[in-house]
Structure 1
Amino acid sequence: MPRRGRPAASDCDPALSAPADASDGLLGPAAIRSLAQQLDLRPTKQLGQNFLHDANTIRRIVRTAELRPDDVVVEIGPGLGSLTLGLLPAAAAVTAVEVDPRLAEQLPRTVAERSPACADRLTVVTADAMRVTELPGAAPTALVANLPYNISVPVLLHWLERFPSIRTALVLVQLEVAERLAAAPGSDAYGVPSVKAAWYADVRRAGAVGRPVFWPVPNVDSGLVRLTRRQPPAGDRAATFAAVDAAFATRRKGLRAALGGWAGSPAAAEARLREAGIDPTWRGERLSVTDFARLAATDPVQAG
């Protein structure tokens, strides 16, 4: 297990023991390909494996995360360890959750070789991130990750729900997903991810990331999203999310029609919308998460 107090900077400084071919101990393109060859690793789209290899991008991610010295960071999908090596000096501990057993087994070795003074800050958990409900050691306070693009939104929402100790998150996702997560009501990109993320946190874009910093190079652009935990709206989360899902299932319909199945009938939906002070002719993209929570809290019996 890693130490939970942060040692002096000189005790965990990757630059002190970095290999000659590395930048601050971080993994460059040659090191990434060499590790992949050693592991006989062929990145798969199924696991969303696109590995960061640009030191400047890694430093930028760590800097943008604004970690505290006592933060316990969870990293989902550490892969070959590029971002992990950047995170270790910036926090008290890093828990890396990796689904691929080969990568999970290799990660401690990579850290021990390239940043031995930081090795005791790392804990590796071999697991599917969507199935993790508890972690060893202290509760995580920050989430920083290059999330697998194919499951980025479900993973993010799962961790925000299961680990309320996470006060801040910085995630690298497909650019289109970044736009959706941070979208405001009324905008074209606003939808289910926007509303559900807003239940847990204030969400904002934190910049774009180019394709060449990954191996293999993805066929989509990427973006950073920063989330800061806040008090959720008054109401029941599950009931609110059910209303959100129904409202956006048919985006072109007004809320009276879109929520007909959810409420039992279009007439019942209209009654609940009016009780919540919402115009039944509006579409879901006009409602904030607070509006949805207020709608979910209306009385279905009276509406019927």
Structure 2
Amino acid sequence: MSDAPSAPRLLGPAEVRALAAELDLRPTKQKGQNFVIDPNTVRRIVRESHITGDDVVVEVGPGLGSLTLAILEVAKSMVAIELDEVLAARLPQTIAEFAPDQAANFSLVISDALKVTELPGPPPTALVANLPYNVSVPVLLHLMALLPSLERGLVMVQSEVADRLAAKPGSKVYGVPSIKAAWYADVRRAGAIGRNIFWPAPNVDSGLVAWTSRPAPDTTATREQVFAVVDAAFAQRRKMLRATLKPLAGGDGERAEAAIVAAGLDPQVRGETLEIDAFVAIAEHLFAGTAEAPARGEV
């Protein structure tokens, strides 16, 4: 007889509804609760995430465990972050029932992902998640900053958010999420997800975003300073940089313009045309000799 572990059983519509009934669960829009009921979709997410048996995976918002079980089938180990205490209380039992041979590879953190400051176990190498749509960008950026060991990821988000994260300069949807994500990684669109694979079906379309980490820009400016420049540039999207950056220069328009010119740019340029490296260069000159980080520009 083979000693190879048995593959996890995945959740389908019947299993998801049975778990929800057991927990007297009524999914709410406020919590962004839309549970995946299609095993083929979670297999696709895991396949396109390119995780292997060497990976330590972090998942946010595991819910009832649909994607969790598919991750456990492939990954070396994983940690899931769940805010809902009712869902979190049931999840280990679900893992034990549906993936008994992989249960030892699973750990759970009951917390708001935005408030997590550390995770148990070895440093994670991949992020694979169906992110809560109402906080998807802040959660993604927080974990990218918190976990420098992450090498890549694949996340499901609202379709419009996926477009913004993967947008390039000049696109109508290029903006703050696009540039801040580019600080950490090369980001791309990785496909669309239909509404009927969820229960309840959301009233928005979903998309997959894949990313591969890259070294942070080599700069004397801090990340907070660069992000402050990004935030200011898009606070009034249609204005020229020399006007939008004036508040960061203490109201000194000449100083703001000088920083833009020193970065090799036309002061009449708009932020929507610039890549991350240009914002880095501006921040270097705008905050040269400044010890304190600006008030804006947090992750």
TM-score normalised to structure 1 length:
0.91
Residue type of the partner of 2:57? Answer: V
Q: State the partner residue of 1:113.
A: 97
User: Which digits, 9 at most, give the CA deviation of each residue in 1:43-81, with x for residues without a partner?
Assistant: 112221111111111110000000121111000000000
Q: Does 1:260 align with 2:260?
A: no
**1:266 Cα deviation after fit:** 2.4
- 1:248 aligns with 234
1:52 and 2:39 correspond: no
Question: In structure 1, what is the equivalent of residue 159 of structure 2?
Answer: 175
Which residue is 1:292 aligned to? 279
Shift of 1:282: 1.1
Contact 1:257 1:266 (C-alpha < 8 Å) held by counterparts: yes
How far, CA to CA, are the matches of 2:200 and 2:167 in structure 1? Answer: 29
Are positions 1:13 and 2:7 aligned together? yes
Contact 1:9–1:89 (8 Å) recurs in 2:
no
State the distance in 2 between where 1:232 and 1:244 align: 16
Contact 1:263–1:269 (8 Å) recurs in 2: yes
Give yes or no for the alignment of 1:231 onto 2:225: no
Contact 1:77 1:146 in 2 (8 A): yes
- Structure 2: distance between partners of 1:96 and 1:301: 41
Q: C-alpha distance in 2, partners of 1:197/1:150? A: 17
Q: Residues of 2 paired with 1:52 and 1:146: CA distance? A: 9
Q: How many angstroms apart in 2 are the aligned matches of 1:38 and 1:299? A: 58
The equivalent residue for 1:28 is 12
Distance 1:9 1:127 in 2: 36
RMSD, aligned CA: 1.4
Contact 2:195/2:206 (CA < 8 Å) preserved in 1? yes
Q: Quote the offset at 1:280 in angstroms.
A: 1.1
User: For residue 135 of structure 1, what is the aligned residue in structure 2?
Assistant: 119
Alignment match of 1:125 (pick from 109, 112, 117): 109
**AA partner of residue 7 (structure 2):** D
Letter aligned with residue 263 of structure 1: A
CA contact (8 A) 2:82 2:111 kept: yes
- Structure 1 unmatched ranges of 5 or more: 1-7, 15-24
What is the CA deviation profile of residues 94-137 of structure 1, one whole-angstrom value per residue up to 9, with x for unaligned ones? 10110011111111111111121111111011111001111111
Alpha-carbon distance in 2 for matches of 1:234, 1:288: 15
Identity level (%): 58
Distance 1:244 1:45, change over 3 A: same
Per-residue CA deviation, residues 205-242 of structure 1 (Å, 9 max, x unaligned), is 00000111111111110000001000111222110000
Q: Take 1:90 and 1:176, find their aligned partners in 2: how far apart are those partners? A: 29
For the residue of structure 2 that corresponds to 1:95, the secondary structure is: strand
- C-alpha distance in structure 2 between counterparts of 1:193 and 1:136, whole Å: 28
Correspondences of 1:167-206 after superposition (within 5 Å): 167-206=151-190
**Higher deviation after alignment, 117-126 or 72-81:** 117-126
Letter of the 1:272 counterpart: A
Work out whether residues 268 and 300 of structure 1, in 8 Å CA contact, stay in contact via their aligned partners in 2. no
- Give the aligned partner of residue 262 of structure 2: 275
C-alpha contact 1:50 1:215 (8 A) present in aligned 2: yes
The answer (yes or no) to whether the contact 1:254–1:282 under 8 Å persists in 2 is yes
Gaps of 5+ in 2: 290-299
Amino acid of the structure 2 residue aligned with 1:130:
L
Kindly tell me: are residues 103 and 239 of structure 1, through their superposed partners in 2, closer, same or farther at Cα, counting changes over 3 Å? same
Alignment of 1:56-75 (within 5 A): 56-75=40-59
Distance verdict in 2 for CA 1:135–1:9, change over 3 Å: farther
Question: Which is further off, 140-149 or 253-262?
Answer: 253-262
- The two structures have a TM-score, normalised by structure 2, of 0.93
Structure 1 residue 301: Cα displacement: 7.0
Cα distance in 2 between the residues matched to 1:263 and 1:288: 21
